[in-house]
A and B are shown apart, each in its own frame.
Chain A
Amino acid sequence: MIEARGVSKLYGRGVYALQDLTLRIDKGEFVFLTGPSGAGKSTLLRLLLRQDVPSEGEMIVGGRNLAALTGRQVQSYRRSLGFVFQDFKLLQAKTVLENVAFVPRVLGLAVAQQQRRTFQVLKWVGLQHRMNAYPRELSGGEQQRIAIARALVNDPVIILADEPTGNLDPDLSLEIMNLLREVNARGTTVLIATHDRELIRRVGRRSLTLDHGRIVEVS
């Protein structure tokens, strides 16, 4: 599903955010990406979101070399992804419902379809009763569940999460992880970057540890 072949990412002169990284994540896997600050976790996710391309090597996802995609192909590739960030990236001026429906809306889906999918995922994350609230009226955990609902609304093949629990306390973190595990149980590949080793231990899934842009440990 996801393959990195000798990927390096160079920022400026001689600063390697990733260095000769080779990894493989199969379809349906649930993988943690961990390591100290500055190890290159976010950089790898940025390459996977095709916000950036490797300086050397190839990122292959679903058989496609991401660096070779045209603008239009990047758009259609991204439609197969769902993303979750530490800061939720919810639109403050929009309600919960509008935030989630925003994705099918800007992808040009019919209104009926927008509504149906939005209700489904909101129900699934258990927040359909807060759909008319604004993000600032929700707790951090609730906001992250909305963000997950938004990531799911387009029925992604892969979910990429960068420190999704970075702003949450341990109990809420586990709750979010359980949600993501459920998503994974339905066949979606999940890749989560976190430096929370305790959380990884409690969830107990495969983890790749990065340091200075290299994989130093696989467990």
Chain B
Amino acid sequence: MRALTYFVTEAAGSLWRGRRAASLAILTIGAGLFVLGFFLIVNTNLQRLAARWGETAEFAIYLRDDVSAEQVESLSRLVHDSGVAARVDQVSKDQALERFRQDFPDLGATAERLNRNPFPASLDVRLRPGASRAEEAAEALAGTLAGSPGVADVRYDRRWLARLNGVVRFVRTVGLIIVGMLALAAALTVANVVRLAAHARRDEIEIMQLVGAPLTYIRGPLVLEGVMQGGAGAVVAIAALGALSALLRARYGGAISQVLGMESLTFLPVELSGILLLGGMLLGCIGGLMVARGVR
């Protein structure tokens, strides 16, 4: 406890004395964490988007006109048991025709003139979002259903979904690389500031060594100084992300949700702030340790 008080007062005092250099380090960490947070937000939303689209993905089982009620019953049980479906809706021939009329009002008249309803009844499947290995499972289900009695055709187009998932993966990889480099830069900047601070306090450190102060008393303030810088950098990043998301939401929130078909975008969840704060403190700690290790 006494040691901790000592660490905190020394580290805070040292930060204050070297506040110019420290602000630079804090801003560097802030920038790094800002980009990390930005990528995490983009990634989270892309994933949500992929999940949402996956959910509304067209998985339709078109039924033969002569299908029996038992066959429909067993088909929908098959779909339910597969575990990939969130919901199964039965669409009758009449409902399919009605849908067509709504979607294409101009062609409605043409349909009117047909003496026979050409639209098949179907089972519309809503895939469950985020189910693991959902794609393969859905693919397998589509294969099984295609050969089942009463089924005319199965439509499951997942190519664009795979493409979206590819984009998500790509963004994540690029993000990780950029964030990794920024993290390294941030840790090195902290190390430099702590090194400067250690240099500024070299007389003090020399006295401590001469009087036989425990190593933790010599190194503790240096490490803590790094941790404090990292934490401050994280606060900067969180504030900047908060401001950015408030701005985006105010300006483009409506447009984005319309285009992407999502009611709300996720901007800055609490967990993300926590991750950034811990990440910043960890980076700062690493920077501090790089210097402290050399002092003995």
Return B207 CB to nearest CB of chain A, in Å. Answer: 6
A78 to B214, CA, bound (A): 11
User: Cβ of A208 < 8 Å from any Cβ of B?
Assistant: no
Return A200 CB to nearest CB of chain B, in Å. Answer: 25
Return A45 CB to nearest CB of chain B, in Å. Answer: 11
- Is B296 touching A106 in the complex (CB atoms < 8 A)? no
- Is A106 touching B6 in the complex (CB atoms < 8 A)? yes
* Chain B window 1-31, contacts with chain A (Cβ cutoff 8 Å), 1 for yes, 0 for no: 0110010000000000100000000000000
- Is A89 touching B213 in the complex (CB atoms < 8 A)? no
> Which A residues touch B53, using CB under 8 A?
none
A110 to B3, CA, bound (A): 10
Return A95 CB to nearest CB of chain B, in Å. Answer: 14
User: Cβ of B203 < 8 Å from any Cβ of A?
Assistant: yes
User: Cβ of B156 < 8 Å from any Cβ of A?
Assistant: no
* Chain A window 82-112, contacts with chain B (Cβ cutoff 8 Å), 1 for yes, 0 for no: 0100000101110000000011011110110
Query: Contacting B203 at CB < 8 Å: which of A77, A89, A108?
Result: A89
> Which A residues touch B89, using CB under 8 A?
none
Query: Contacting A107 at CB < 8 Å: which of B203, B204, B213?
Result: B213
A105 to B210, CA, bound (A): 14
Among residues of A, the one whose C-beta sits closest to the C-beta of B218 is A106
B residues 185-226 with Cβ under 8 Å of A? 203-204, 206-215, 217-218
B residues 213-248 with Cβ under 8 Å of A? 213-215, 217-218
> Which B residues touch A76, using CB under 8 A?
212
A83 to B211, CA, bound (A): 8
A206 to B214, CA, bound (A): 35
> Which B residues touch A92, using CB under 8 A?
203
- Is A71 touching B215 in the complex (CB atoms < 8 A)? yes
- Is B212 touching A77 in the complex (CB atoms < 8 A)? yes
- Is A91 touching B212 in the complex (CB atoms < 8 A)? no
A103 to B208, CA, bound (A): 7
- Is B2 touching A71 in the complex (CB atoms < 8 A)? no
Given A89-B203, A89-B206, A91-B204, CB of A105 within 8 Å of CB of B211? no
Query: Contacting A83 at CB < 8 Å: which of B210, B215, B217, B218?
Result: B210
A77 to B212, CA, bound (A): 7
User: Cβ of A120 < 8 Å from any Cβ of B?
Assistant: no
Query: Contacting A74 at CB < 8 Å: which of B17, B207, B208, B212?
Result: B212
User: Cβ of A178 < 8 Å from any Cβ of B?
Assistant: no
A188 to B209, CA, bound (A): 22
User: Cβ of A49 < 8 Å from any Cβ of B?
Assistant: yes
Return A187 CB to nearest CB of chain B, in Å. Answer: 20
> Which A residues touch B215, using CB under 8 A?
71, 75
User: Cβ of A79 < 8 Å from any Cβ of B?
Assistant: yes
Chain B CB within 10 Å — which of A93, A106, A107 has the most?
A106
> Which A residues touch B17, using CB under 8 A?
93
Chain A CB within 10 Å — which of B6, B206, B211, B214 has the most?
B211
A180 to B200, CA, bound (A): 32
User: Cβ of A165 < 8 Å from any Cβ of B?
Assistant: no
A83 to B210, CA, bound (A): 8
Query: Contacting B217 at CB < 8 Å: which of A77, A79, A108?
Result: A108
A residues 149-185 with Cβ under 8 Å of B? 154
Given A89-B206, A91-B203, A102-B207, CB of A108 within 8 Å of CB of B214? yes
* Chain B window 243-269, contacts with chain A (Cβ cutoff 8 Å), 1 for yes, 0 for no: 000000000000000000000000000
Return A198 CB to nearest CB of chain B, in Å. Answer: 29
- Is A91 touching B3 in the complex (CB atoms < 8 A)? no
Among residues of A, the one whose C-beta sits closest to the C-beta of B213 is A106
Return A174 CB to nearest CB of chain B, in Å. Answer: 26
Among residues of A, the one whose C-beta sits closest to the C-beta of B5 is A111
A71 to B214, CA, bound (A): 10
> Which B residues touch A83, using CB under 8 A?
210
Return B12 CB to nearest CB of chain A, in Å. Answer: 14
Given A74-B212, A76-B212, A77-B212, CB of A108 within 8 Å of CB of B2? yes
Listed in ascending order, the chain A residues whose CB lies under 8 Å from chain B are 49, 71, 74-79, 81, 83, 89, 91-93, 102-103, 105-108, 110-111, 154
Q: Provide 8 A-B residue pairs closer than 8 Å at the C-beta atoms, listed in order of the A residue.
A: A49-B210, A74-B212, A77-B212, A81-B212, A91-B207, A103-B207, A106-B217, A108-B214
Knowing that A108-B2, A110-B2 are A-B contacts, what are 13 other residue pairs whose CB atoms are under 8 Å apart, sorted by A's residue number?
A71-B215, A75-B214, A78-B209, A79-B212, A83-B210, A91-B204, A92-B203, A103-B207, A105-B6, A106-B211, A108-B214, A108-B217, A111-B2
